[in-house]
Amino acid sequence: MPREFKVLVVGAGMAGLMLGHLLERANIQFEIYERAEELRPLGSAMGFGANILALFEQIGIYEDFKKVSKEVFGTAFVDDNHRQTAEIGGRFLAEKFGYAYRIFSRPDLMKVLLSRVPAHKIHMGKKLVDLVQDDEKVTLTFADGTTATGDLVVGADGGYSTTREHLYKWLEEKGTLPAIDREPMTFGFYNLLGTTNPMDPAKYPVLAEEEGKIIILHRSNSRHAIQTFAVPGNRFAWNVTCHIASNFGYDSKVSSTTDWGTEATDAMIEEVREFNAPFGGKMKDFIDATPRESISRVKLEEKMFRSWYGGRVILVGDACHKMVPSAGQGAVNAFQDAAVLVNNLYDIPDRPTGADLEAAFASHYEERYPNAVIAFEISQQQSVLIQGQTLFHRIMRWIVSHTIPQYLQERTIDRVNSYRPQVSFLPMVPDKGVFGVQPRKVSKRYQEELSAGAQAL
Protein backbone atom coordinates (compact mmCIF):
# COMPACT_ATOMS: atom_id res chain seq x y z
CA MET A 1 0.00 0.00 0.00
CA PRO A 2 1.23 3.53 -0.73
CA ARG A 3 2.40 5.56 2.24
CA GLU A 4 -0.18 7.97 3.66
CA PHE A 5 1.82 11.17 3.09
CA LYS A 6 2.23 12.97 -0.23
CA VAL A 7 5.30 14.70 -1.69
CA LEU A 8 4.84 17.68 -4.02
CA VAL A 9 7.82 18.07 -6.36
CA VAL A 10 8.34 21.43 -8.09
CA GLY A 11 10.33 21.01 -11.31
CA ALA A 12 10.53 18.21 -13.91
CA GLY A 13 14.21 18.53 -14.77
CA MET A 14 16.77 15.85 -14.04
CA ALA A 15 16.48 16.21 -10.25
CA GLY A 16 12.69 16.14 -10.29
CA LEU A 17 12.45 13.15 -12.63
CA MET A 18 14.98 11.11 -10.66
CA LEU A 19 13.14 11.99 -7.46
CA GLY A 20 9.86 10.91 -9.05
CA HIS A 21 11.33 7.57 -10.11
CA LEU A 22 12.73 6.88 -6.64
CA LEU A 23 9.52 7.91 -4.88
CA GLU A 24 7.65 5.54 -7.18
CA ARG A 25 10.06 2.72 -6.26
CA ALA A 26 9.65 3.56 -2.56
CA ASN A 27 5.83 3.47 -2.87
CA ILE A 28 5.55 7.07 -1.66
CA GLN A 29 2.79 9.25 -3.11
CA PHE A 30 3.97 12.18 -5.20
CA GLU A 31 3.06 14.64 -7.93
CA ILE A 32 5.47 16.70 -10.09
CA TYR A 33 4.64 20.25 -11.19
CA GLU A 34 6.56 21.81 -14.09
CA ARG A 35 6.22 25.44 -15.20
CA ALA A 36 6.94 24.75 -18.88
CA GLU A 37 4.05 23.85 -21.18
CA GLU A 38 6.06 20.95 -22.61
CA LEU A 39 9.30 19.21 -21.78
CA ARG A 40 11.93 19.93 -24.41
CA PRO A 41 15.12 18.12 -23.44
CA LEU A 42 17.98 20.49 -24.23
CA GLY A 43 21.69 20.28 -23.72
CA SER A 44 24.95 18.85 -24.93
CA ALA A 45 27.35 16.20 -23.70
CA MET A 46 27.66 15.18 -20.07
CA GLY A 47 29.83 12.61 -18.33
CA PHE A 48 29.19 10.28 -15.39
CA GLY A 49 31.41 7.95 -13.40
CA ALA A 50 31.28 5.52 -10.52
CA ASN A 51 29.83 7.97 -8.00
CA ILE A 52 26.43 7.74 -9.70
CA LEU A 53 26.57 4.67 -11.96
CA ALA A 54 26.27 2.31 -8.99
CA LEU A 55 22.90 3.93 -8.22
CA PHE A 56 21.89 3.63 -11.88
CA GLU A 57 22.64 -0.08 -11.74
CA GLN A 58 20.74 -0.54 -8.50
CA ILE A 59 17.55 1.14 -9.70
CA GLY A 60 17.58 -0.59 -13.08
CA ILE A 61 18.41 2.18 -15.55
CA TYR A 62 22.10 1.37 -16.13
CA GLU A 63 21.55 -0.87 -19.17
CA ASP A 64 19.40 1.77 -20.88
CA PHE A 65 21.99 4.40 -19.96
CA LYS A 66 24.77 2.34 -21.55
CA LYS A 67 22.80 2.24 -24.82
CA VAL A 68 22.87 6.04 -25.07
CA SER A 69 26.43 6.58 -23.81
CA LYS A 70 30.03 5.71 -24.68
CA GLU A 71 33.03 4.84 -22.53
CA VAL A 72 35.77 7.45 -22.60
CA PHE A 73 39.33 7.09 -21.35
CA GLY A 74 40.86 10.54 -21.21
CA THR A 75 40.77 14.14 -22.34
CA ALA A 76 43.06 15.80 -24.89
CA PHE A 77 43.53 19.56 -25.24
CA VAL A 78 44.43 20.98 -28.65
CA ASP A 79 45.04 24.41 -30.12
CA ASP A 80 43.32 25.97 -33.11
CA ASN A 81 45.64 24.04 -35.45
CA HIS A 82 44.75 20.73 -33.75
CA ARG A 83 48.18 20.41 -32.12
CA GLN A 84 47.88 18.65 -28.77
CA THR A 85 48.88 20.89 -25.88
CA ALA A 86 47.94 18.72 -22.90
CA GLU A 87 46.34 15.42 -21.96
CA ILE A 88 44.67 14.03 -18.85
CA GLY A 89 44.44 10.24 -18.69
CA GLY A 90 41.44 8.30 -17.47
CA ARG A 91 41.92 4.65 -18.46
CA PHE A 92 42.53 3.69 -14.82
CA LEU A 93 38.96 4.59 -13.80
CA ALA A 94 37.28 1.30 -14.73
CA GLU A 95 39.76 -0.84 -12.82
CA LYS A 96 40.04 1.43 -9.81
CA PHE A 97 36.38 2.32 -9.33
CA GLY A 98 34.58 -0.49 -11.15
CA TYR A 99 32.94 1.73 -13.79
CA ALA A 100 34.41 3.46 -16.82
CA TYR A 101 33.63 7.13 -17.31
CA ARG A 102 30.81 7.47 -19.85
CA ILE A 103 29.76 10.43 -22.00
CA PHE A 104 26.27 10.97 -23.38
CA SER A 105 23.88 13.62 -24.61
CA ARG A 106 21.72 15.20 -21.91
CA PRO A 107 18.49 14.87 -23.97
CA ASP A 108 19.06 11.11 -24.21
CA LEU A 109 19.28 10.70 -20.44
CA MET A 110 16.20 12.88 -19.98
CA LYS A 111 14.27 10.46 -22.19
CA VAL A 112 15.43 7.51 -20.06
CA LEU A 113 14.29 9.28 -16.88
CA LEU A 114 10.97 10.33 -18.41
CA SER A 115 10.24 6.72 -19.30
CA ARG A 116 10.49 5.80 -15.60
CA VAL A 117 7.96 8.29 -14.24
CA PRO A 118 4.20 7.74 -14.77
CA ALA A 119 3.05 10.43 -17.20
CA HIS A 120 -0.12 11.20 -15.21
CA LYS A 121 2.03 12.31 -12.27
CA ILE A 122 3.77 15.08 -14.25
CA HIS A 123 1.67 18.26 -14.52
CA MET A 124 2.77 20.78 -17.14
CA GLY A 125 2.14 24.52 -17.31
CA LYS A 126 2.24 24.87 -13.52
CA LYS A 127 4.13 28.07 -12.73
CA LEU A 128 4.47 28.39 -8.96
CA VAL A 129 3.31 31.76 -7.61
CA ASP A 130 2.69 31.05 -3.93
CA LEU A 131 3.68 28.55 -1.26
CA VAL A 132 2.03 28.47 2.17
CA GLN A 133 2.90 26.01 4.90
CA ASP A 134 1.53 25.42 8.37
CA ASP A 135 1.90 22.76 11.07
CA GLU A 136 -0.08 20.16 9.12
CA LYS A 137 0.34 20.74 5.39
CA VAL A 138 1.78 22.83 2.58
CA THR A 139 -0.20 24.34 -0.28
CA LEU A 140 1.08 25.42 -3.69
CA THR A 141 -0.71 27.96 -5.87
CA PHE A 142 0.01 28.15 -9.60
CA ALA A 143 -0.39 30.94 -12.13
CA ASP A 144 -3.37 29.18 -13.75
CA GLY A 145 -5.30 29.46 -10.48
CA THR A 146 -5.05 25.82 -9.48
CA THR A 147 -3.65 24.62 -6.15
CA ALA A 148 -2.04 21.48 -4.76
CA THR A 149 -1.81 20.35 -1.14
CA GLY A 150 0.59 17.83 0.34
CA ASP A 151 2.66 16.96 3.38
CA LEU A 152 5.95 18.33 2.07
CA VAL A 153 7.40 20.15 -0.93
CA VAL A 154 10.67 19.41 -2.70
CA GLY A 155 12.04 22.31 -4.74
CA ALA A 156 13.78 20.77 -7.77
CA ASP A 157 13.24 23.85 -9.91
CA GLY A 158 16.80 24.85 -10.75
CA GLY A 159 19.22 27.66 -10.06
CA TYR A 160 16.53 30.34 -10.14
CA SER A 161 14.22 28.31 -7.92
CA THR A 162 10.88 29.88 -7.09
CA THR A 163 10.54 27.34 -4.30
CA ARG A 164 13.77 28.66 -2.80
CA GLU A 165 12.47 32.23 -2.94
CA HIS A 166 9.37 31.27 -0.94
CA LEU A 167 11.39 29.17 1.51
CA TYR A 168 13.89 31.97 2.07
CA LYS A 169 11.10 34.48 2.66
CA TRP A 170 9.72 32.12 5.32
CA LEU A 171 13.17 31.72 6.90
CA GLU A 172 13.76 35.49 6.83
CA GLU A 173 10.52 36.07 8.70
CA LYS A 174 11.81 33.71 11.36
CA GLY A 175 15.20 35.43 11.41
CA THR A 176 17.12 32.26 10.51
CA LEU A 177 18.31 32.97 6.95
CA PRO A 178 22.06 33.72 6.78
CA ALA A 179 23.00 36.82 4.81
CA ILE A 180 25.22 34.83 2.44
CA ASP A 181 22.16 33.05 1.04
CA ARG A 182 20.81 36.36 -0.24
CA GLU A 183 23.96 37.11 -2.21
CA PRO A 184 23.60 36.54 -5.97
CA MET A 185 25.14 33.66 -7.84
CA THR A 186 28.30 34.36 -9.81
CA PHE A 187 29.33 33.16 -13.21
CA GLY A 188 32.50 33.30 -15.26
CA PHE A 189 31.40 31.39 -18.36
CA TYR A 190 28.47 30.94 -20.69
CA ASN A 191 27.78 28.18 -23.19
CA LEU A 192 26.26 27.74 -26.61
CA LEU A 193 25.32 24.09 -26.95
CA GLY A 194 23.31 21.44 -28.72
CA THR A 195 23.18 17.88 -30.08
CA THR A 196 23.20 17.27 -33.83
CA ASN A 197 21.06 15.06 -35.97
CA PRO A 198 22.91 11.96 -37.31
CA MET A 199 26.02 12.88 -39.31
CA ASP A 200 28.18 10.99 -41.81
CA PRO A 201 30.65 8.49 -40.23
CA ALA A 202 32.61 8.49 -43.49
CA LYS A 203 33.34 12.18 -42.94
CA TYR A 204 33.76 11.81 -39.16
CA PRO A 205 35.19 8.31 -38.46
CA VAL A 206 35.08 8.96 -34.71
CA LEU A 207 31.31 8.45 -34.88
CA ALA A 208 31.80 4.77 -35.69
CA GLU A 209 34.28 4.14 -32.88
CA GLU A 210 33.08 2.21 -29.85
CA GLU A 211 34.94 4.42 -27.41
CA GLY A 212 34.07 8.07 -27.02
CA LYS A 213 36.69 10.80 -27.17
CA ILE A 214 36.97 14.11 -25.40
CA ILE A 215 38.92 16.74 -27.32
CA ILE A 216 38.81 20.32 -26.12
CA LEU A 217 40.00 23.01 -28.53
CA HIS A 218 41.26 26.26 -27.04
CA ARG A 219 41.43 29.08 -29.56
CA SER A 220 44.54 31.25 -29.46
CA ASN A 221 44.02 34.81 -28.19
CA SER A 222 40.35 34.07 -27.66
CA ARG A 223 37.92 33.67 -24.80
CA HIS A 224 36.46 30.49 -26.29
CA ALA A 225 36.91 26.77 -25.67
CA ILE A 226 35.16 24.25 -27.95
CA GLN A 227 34.12 20.71 -27.08
CA THR A 228 32.59 18.20 -29.48
CA PHE A 229 31.71 14.68 -28.37
CA ALA A 230 30.67 11.70 -30.47
CA VAL A 231 27.60 10.09 -28.89
CA PRO A 232 25.55 7.04 -29.96
CA GLY A 233 23.38 7.41 -33.03
CA ASN A 234 26.11 8.95 -35.24
CA ARG A 235 25.56 12.29 -33.52
CA PHE A 236 27.74 14.95 -31.95
CA ALA A 237 27.00 16.75 -28.71
CA TRP A 238 28.83 20.07 -28.82
CA ASN A 239 29.34 23.24 -26.86
CA VAL A 240 31.26 26.49 -27.19
CA THR A 241 32.21 28.04 -23.86
CA CYS A 242 33.01 31.74 -23.54
CA HIS A 243 35.10 32.96 -20.61
CA ILE A 244 33.41 36.30 -19.93
CA ALA A 245 34.72 39.84 -19.27
CA SER A 246 37.43 41.67 -21.15
CA ASN A 247 40.01 40.66 -18.57
CA PHE A 248 38.66 37.09 -18.39
CA GLY A 249 37.69 37.74 -14.78
CA TYR A 250 35.66 35.35 -12.69
CA ASP A 251 33.67 37.68 -10.46
CA SER A 252 30.71 38.73 -12.57
CA LYS A 253 27.32 38.79 -10.88
CA VAL A 254 24.43 36.98 -12.48
CA SER A 255 21.72 39.32 -13.66
CA SER A 256 18.24 37.90 -14.11
CA THR A 257 17.46 40.77 -16.50
CA THR A 258 20.22 39.92 -18.96
CA ASP A 259 18.91 38.95 -22.38
CA TRP A 260 19.36 35.19 -22.80
CA GLY A 261 16.59 34.68 -25.34
CA THR A 262 16.51 33.85 -29.04
CA GLU A 263 18.20 37.06 -30.19
CA ALA A 264 21.23 36.55 -27.94
CA THR A 265 21.51 32.89 -28.98
CA ASP A 266 21.37 33.79 -32.68
CA ALA A 267 24.10 36.39 -32.17
CA MET A 268 26.42 33.86 -30.58
CA ILE A 269 25.69 31.32 -33.30
CA GLU A 270 26.89 33.83 -35.88
CA GLU A 271 29.93 34.66 -33.75
CA VAL A 272 31.20 31.07 -33.56
CA ARG A 273 30.17 29.58 -36.93
CA GLU A 274 33.62 29.92 -38.50
CA PHE A 275 35.53 28.58 -35.48
CA ASN A 276 37.55 25.42 -36.10
CA ALA A 277 35.93 22.30 -34.61
CA PRO A 278 37.84 19.70 -32.54
CA PHE A 279 37.19 16.83 -34.98
CA GLY A 280 37.80 18.89 -38.11
CA GLY A 281 35.77 21.28 -40.18
CA LYS A 282 34.03 24.35 -38.83
CA MET A 283 31.49 24.74 -36.04
CA LYS A 284 28.92 25.75 -38.65
CA ASP A 285 28.93 22.13 -39.85
CA PHE A 286 27.69 21.02 -36.42
CA ILE A 287 25.42 24.01 -35.81
CA ASP A 288 23.65 23.52 -39.16
CA ALA A 289 23.15 19.80 -38.34
CA THR A 290 21.43 20.72 -35.07
CA PRO A 291 17.72 21.64 -34.98
CA ARG A 292 17.52 25.33 -34.09
CA GLU A 293 15.01 24.67 -31.29
CA SER A 294 17.60 22.36 -29.70
CA ILE A 295 20.34 25.02 -29.52
CA SER A 296 20.52 27.02 -26.32
CA ARG A 297 22.74 29.65 -24.75
CA VAL A 298 23.11 29.29 -21.00
CA LYS A 299 24.96 30.86 -18.11
CA LEU A 300 27.27 28.63 -16.10
CA GLU A 301 26.43 30.02 -12.69
CA GLU A 302 27.62 28.72 -9.36
CA LYS A 303 26.78 29.03 -5.70
CA MET A 304 26.68 26.76 -2.67
CA PHE A 305 23.65 27.77 -0.63
CA ARG A 306 23.74 27.21 3.14
CA SER A 307 20.00 26.86 3.76
CA TRP A 308 18.42 23.80 2.18
CA TYR A 309 15.24 23.29 4.18
CA GLY A 310 12.73 24.77 6.58
CA GLY A 311 9.40 23.54 7.93
CA ARG A 312 7.85 21.28 5.31
CA VAL A 313 10.01 22.47 2.38
CA ILE A 314 13.38 21.17 1.18
CA LEU A 315 15.54 21.95 -1.86
CA VAL A 316 17.51 19.59 -4.10
CA GLY A 317 19.85 19.91 -7.08
CA ASP A 318 20.66 23.31 -8.57
CA ALA A 319 18.14 24.94 -6.23
CA CYS A 320 20.56 24.48 -3.33
CA HIS A 321 23.98 23.91 -4.97
CA LYS A 322 24.48 25.35 -8.45
CA MET A 323 27.69 23.99 -9.94
CA VAL A 324 29.46 24.67 -13.22
CA PRO A 325 29.20 21.53 -15.36
CA SER A 326 32.86 20.97 -16.24
CA ALA A 327 33.32 18.04 -13.87
CA GLY A 328 29.84 16.61 -14.45
CA GLN A 329 28.99 17.01 -10.78
CA GLY A 330 25.86 19.15 -11.05
CA ALA A 331 23.56 16.39 -12.27
CA VAL A 332 25.39 13.75 -10.23
CA ASN A 333 24.78 15.66 -7.01
CA ALA A 334 21.15 16.28 -7.94
CA PHE A 335 20.70 12.51 -8.28
CA GLN A 336 22.55 11.90 -5.02
CA ASP A 337 20.25 14.43 -3.34
CA ALA A 338 17.23 12.52 -4.63
CA ALA A 339 18.53 9.16 -3.39
CA VAL A 340 19.50 10.35 0.09
CA LEU A 341 16.29 12.35 0.54
CA VAL A 342 14.08 9.40 -0.41
CA ASN A 343 16.13 7.20 1.95
CA ASN A 344 15.25 9.54 4.80
CA LEU A 345 11.61 9.82 3.78
CA TYR A 346 11.33 6.06 3.55
CA ASP A 347 12.05 5.70 7.27
CA ILE A 348 9.61 8.31 8.59
CA PRO A 349 6.18 7.31 10.02
CA ASP A 350 3.27 6.79 7.66
CA ARG A 351 1.64 9.91 9.11
CA PRO A 352 4.64 12.15 9.75
CA THR A 353 4.49 15.18 12.00
CA GLY A 354 6.38 18.37 11.30
CA ALA A 355 9.02 17.19 13.75
CA ASP A 356 9.39 13.91 11.81
CA LEU A 357 9.98 15.84 8.58
CA GLU A 358 12.41 18.22 10.25
CA ALA A 359 14.44 15.26 11.53
CA ALA A 360 14.45 13.63 8.08
CA PHE A 361 15.57 16.87 6.43
CA ALA A 362 18.29 17.40 9.02
CA SER A 363 19.60 13.87 8.44
CA HIS A 364 19.60 14.47 4.70
CA TYR A 365 21.51 17.73 5.09
CA GLU A 366 24.03 16.20 7.48
CA GLU A 367 25.03 13.64 4.85
CA ARG A 368 24.66 15.67 1.69
CA TYR A 369 26.03 19.12 2.53
CA PRO A 370 29.70 18.18 3.17
CA ASN A 371 29.79 15.90 0.13
CA ALA A 372 28.17 18.55 -2.06
CA VAL A 373 30.77 21.08 -0.89
CA ILE A 374 33.55 18.74 -2.04
CA ALA A 375 31.89 18.35 -5.44
CA PHE A 376 31.35 22.11 -5.68
CA GLU A 377 35.02 22.83 -5.03
CA ILE A 378 36.12 20.24 -7.57
CA SER A 379 33.75 21.72 -10.16
CA GLN A 380 35.30 25.15 -9.58
CA GLN A 381 38.81 23.74 -10.03
CA GLN A 382 37.91 21.77 -13.13
CA SER A 383 36.10 24.68 -14.77
CA VAL A 384 39.17 26.90 -14.79
CA LEU A 385 41.43 23.98 -15.70
CA ILE A 386 39.31 22.87 -18.65
CA GLN A 387 37.70 26.11 -19.81
CA GLY A 388 39.83 28.91 -18.38
CA GLN A 389 41.41 31.08 -21.06
CA THR A 390 43.88 33.31 -19.22
CA LEU A 391 47.61 32.74 -19.57
CA PHE A 392 47.60 31.43 -16.02
CA HIS A 393 44.98 28.81 -16.89
CA ARG A 394 46.90 27.70 -19.98
CA ILE A 395 50.07 27.30 -17.91
CA MET A 396 48.17 25.34 -15.27
CA ARG A 397 46.81 22.92 -17.89
CA TRP A 398 50.34 22.25 -19.09
CA ILE A 399 51.65 21.78 -15.54
CA VAL A 400 48.86 19.38 -14.59
CA SER A 401 49.32 17.19 -17.65
CA HIS A 402 53.13 17.29 -17.88
CA THR A 403 54.58 17.60 -14.38
CA ILE A 404 52.10 16.42 -11.73
CA PRO A 405 52.41 12.67 -10.99
CA GLN A 406 49.44 10.49 -11.87
CA TYR A 407 48.74 9.60 -8.24
CA LEU A 408 48.36 13.28 -7.34
CA GLN A 409 46.04 13.86 -10.32
CA GLU A 410 43.92 10.98 -9.11
CA ARG A 411 43.34 12.46 -5.65
CA THR A 412 40.59 14.72 -6.92
CA ILE A 413 38.84 11.82 -8.63
CA ASP A 414 39.27 9.69 -5.52
CA ARG A 415 37.43 12.27 -3.40
CA VAL A 416 34.27 12.19 -5.49
CA ASN A 417 34.24 8.46 -6.23
CA SER A 418 34.56 7.34 -2.62
CA TYR A 419 31.04 8.66 -2.00
CA ARG A 420 28.48 6.54 -3.86
CA PRO A 421 25.06 6.61 -2.18
CA GLN A 422 22.48 4.00 -3.10
CA VAL A 423 18.85 3.75 -2.05
CA SER A 424 18.39 1.93 1.24
CA PHE A 425 15.02 0.30 0.40
CA LEU A 426 16.32 -1.90 -2.44
CA PRO A 427 19.02 -4.60 -2.51
CA MET A 428 22.42 -2.93 -2.68
CA VAL A 429 24.66 -3.35 -5.72
CA PRO A 430 28.00 -4.75 -4.50
CA ASP A 431 30.84 -2.24 -4.61
CA LYS A 432 33.14 -2.66 -7.59
CA GLY A 433 36.74 -1.78 -8.22
CA VAL A 434 39.60 -1.70 -5.76
CA PHE A 435 39.02 1.70 -4.16
CA GLY A 436 37.26 2.05 -0.81
CA VAL A 437 33.70 3.38 -0.64
CA GLN A 438 32.19 5.39 2.21
CA PRO A 439 29.79 3.40 4.44
CA ARG A 440 26.09 3.80 3.71
CA LYS A 441 23.24 4.21 6.17
CA VAL A 442 20.93 1.24 6.62
CA SER A 443 17.14 1.67 6.46
CA LYS A 444 15.46 0.48 9.66
CA ARG A 445 12.11 0.13 7.92
CA TYR A 446 13.60 -1.92 5.08
CA GLN A 447 15.34 -4.25 7.54
CA GLU A 448 12.07 -4.71 9.42
CA GLU A 449 10.25 -5.45 6.16
CA LEU A 450 12.86 -8.06 5.20
CA SER A 451 12.61 -9.64 8.64
CA ALA A 452 8.80 -9.73 8.49
CA GLY A 453 8.93 -11.28 5.03
CA ALA A 454 11.35 -13.96 6.18
CA GLN A 455 9.14 -14.82 9.15
CA ALA A 456 6.06 -15.07 6.90
CA LEU A 457 7.87 -17.72 4.84
> What is the total count of domains within the chain?
1
Question: Does 437 reside within a domain?
Answer: yes
Question: Does 58 reside within a domain?
Answer: no
Q: For the chain, what is the radius of gyration of the CA atoms?
A: 22
Confidence of residue 261 (pLDDT cuts 50, 70, 90): low
Question: Does 54 reside within a domain?
Answer: no
For 114, the domain range is 6-40+106-184+302-391+410-456
Question: Does 161 reside within a domain?
Answer: yes
Between CA 350 and CA 216 the distance in angstroms is 51
Between CA 318 and CA 157 the distance in angstroms is 8
Question: Does 205 reside within a domain?
Answer: no
Question: pLDDT tens digit string along 17-48?
Answer: 999 999 999 999 999 999 999 887 777 888 89
Between CA 385 and CA 191 the distance in angstroms is 16
Residue 85 pLDDT more than 90? no
Please state, rounded to an integer, the average pLDDT across all residues of the chain: 87
Question: Does 139 reside within a domain?
Answer: yes
- What pLDDT is attached to residue 393? 63
- Supply the DSSP symbol for 4: S
CATH number at residue 146: 3.50.50.60
Whole-model pTM over 0.95: no
- What pLDDT is attached to residue 93? 76
- What pLDDT is attached to residue 254? 43
Interval 308-334 mean pLDDT? 90
Local structure of 298: helix, strand or coil = strand
Question: Does 116 reside within a domain?
Answer: yes
Question: pLDDT tens digit string along 5-15?
Answer: 999 999 999 99
Residue 88 pLDDT more than 80? no
Question: pLDDT tens digit string along 111-149?
Answer: 999 999 999 999 999 999 999 999 999 999 999 999 999
Question: Does 266 reside within a domain?
Answer: no
Smallest CA-to-CA distance from 51 within 322, 413, 303 is with 413
Confidence of residue 400 (pLDDT cuts 50, 70, 90): low
Confidence of residue 384 (pLDDT cuts 50, 70, 90): low
